[in-house]
Amino acid sequence: MKFNFYCAPINEDYDPVEKLPSFETSNQAHKRRRLLVSALPELGEAGRLLASRLDDCSLKKCRSAGCPVCLRLFRRWWGSTIAEYMARDPDYWFTVSIVPSDVFDVGHLHRFAWKLLKDRLRTQIARSQISQAVILGGIDYNLLHFEDDRSPRWRPHLYFLTGGGGQGLIENAFRKHYPRDEDTPRPVVVTAQRTDDKDLVTTATYTFKARFENRRPCKDKRGNADTESDELALPHQAELAILLDRQGFLGRTIRHGDDRALPALTTR
Ligand SMILES: [Zn+2]
C-alpha cells in the first residue's frame, strides 16, 4: 500500500502550523487552489486535466503534488517529521543549497529532467566522503530574471539538510560538479544549521517550499549586486503546478541515508 501522509501522526512540538507564524493557512491554500483551477485550463490538455482534479479535491483529497491544499498537508508532515528527527541530535546539521546551471524557458519547464538530476546527486554523494550521511530535502523552483533584456527562465535547484560530515567535506562533495557561471555566482552554499526547535521547524519546512518566487537582480544599499524576490505570476504558478503534479510529493524530495529511526527515508 502506498504511504498515506494524510493520516500520519504529527508531533505538535514540531508542527509548522503551531510553530511558524508564516506557515500558509488553510484558507490561503484553498484560495490558491481556486486561482490555479481558473488559470490551468489556459495551458492545454495537461492544464485542463489538472484543473479538474484540483477542482474535485475536497474531503476526499486529490493527492496531487500540484494542489496547494494537499501540498500544505504534506509540508506539515514532512517539516514536523524532519524537525523532530533533527532535534534528537541537533548539532552537526548543515543546510546545503545547490544551483545547477540548467535553466528552462517559460513554457518549457516540462523539459526539466528531475530524475536525472537526482540520480547524479545520488552518485555524487555515494562517491564522496559524506556517503554515510543522512540527507533530507527537496527540489525548489525560481523564475530567474536577468539584468540584460533576456526573457526570464526557470531555475530548478536543490535545498537539503545534511546530518554530519562537516562544512569542508560537504563542499568538497559537490563543488566540482556544479561550476560557477555568470548567472550562477554561488552554485554550492553550505551553512551550519542553528539548533533551537523553532529554527529546526523553519529549516525543515523550508526544504519543501509552497511559495515560489521571481528572483530579480538588484543593488543593495552599498551598490553591491543582490537579488530581490516576489511571488510568481499566476500563469507561471500554473505551469509549475503541472510539473509538481507529474513529479509527485516523494519525487520532489531528496532522501539519502539509512536510519531505522526515520522511516521517512525509505517511504514509497
Ligand atoms: Zn488536493
The more confident residue out of 165 and 104 is: 104
How remote is the CA of residue 189 from the centroid of ligand 1, in Å? 33
Ligand 1 centre to CA of 70 (Å) is: 4
Cα–Cα distances in angstroms (integers) from residue 183 to residues 66, 108, 237, in the given order: 28, 19, 23
Amino acid at 251: G
For residue 105, the model assigns a pLDDT of 98
In percent, the amount of the chain with pLDDT more than 70 equals 99
Tens digit of each residue's pLDDT (9 = 90 or more) over 117-161: 999 999 999 999 999 999 999 999 999 999 998 999 999 999 999
> 10 Å Cβ neighbour count for 91?
10
Decide: residue 215, CB within 10 A, 0-12 exposed, 13-18 middle, 19+ buried: middle
Q: Measure the CA–CA gap between 79 and 205, rounded to whole angstroms.
A: 4
Best CA proximity match to 61, nearest among 49, 48, 74, 45: 74
d(CA 251, CA 107): 21
Nine-digit cell string for 245: 503534479
Q: Tell me: pLDDT of 2 over 70.
A: no
pLDDT digits (tens, 9 = 90+) for 183-235: 999 999 999 988 788 899 999 999 999 999 999 988 888 888 888 999 999 99
Question: How much distance in Å is there from the Cα of 114 to the middle of ligand 1?
Answer: 22
pLDDT for the residue 249: 96
**Cα–ligand 1 centroid distance for 220 (angstroms):** 40
Distance, CA 163 to ligand 1 centroid (Å)?
32
- How close is the Cα of 64 to the center of ligand 1, in Å? 6
Ligand 1 centre distance from Cα of residue 99 (Å): 29
Q: How far is CA 203 from CA 23, 167, 200, in A?
A: 12, 17, 5
CA of 129 to the centre of ligand 1 (A): 40
Q: Tell me, what's the pLDDT at 16?
A: 97
Question: What average pLDDT score do residues 11-27 get?
Answer: 96
Q: Which residue has the higher pLDDT, 9 or 111?
A: 111
Please tell me the distance between residue 71's alpha carbon and the centre of ligand 1 in angstroms: 7
pTM above 0.85, yes or no: yes
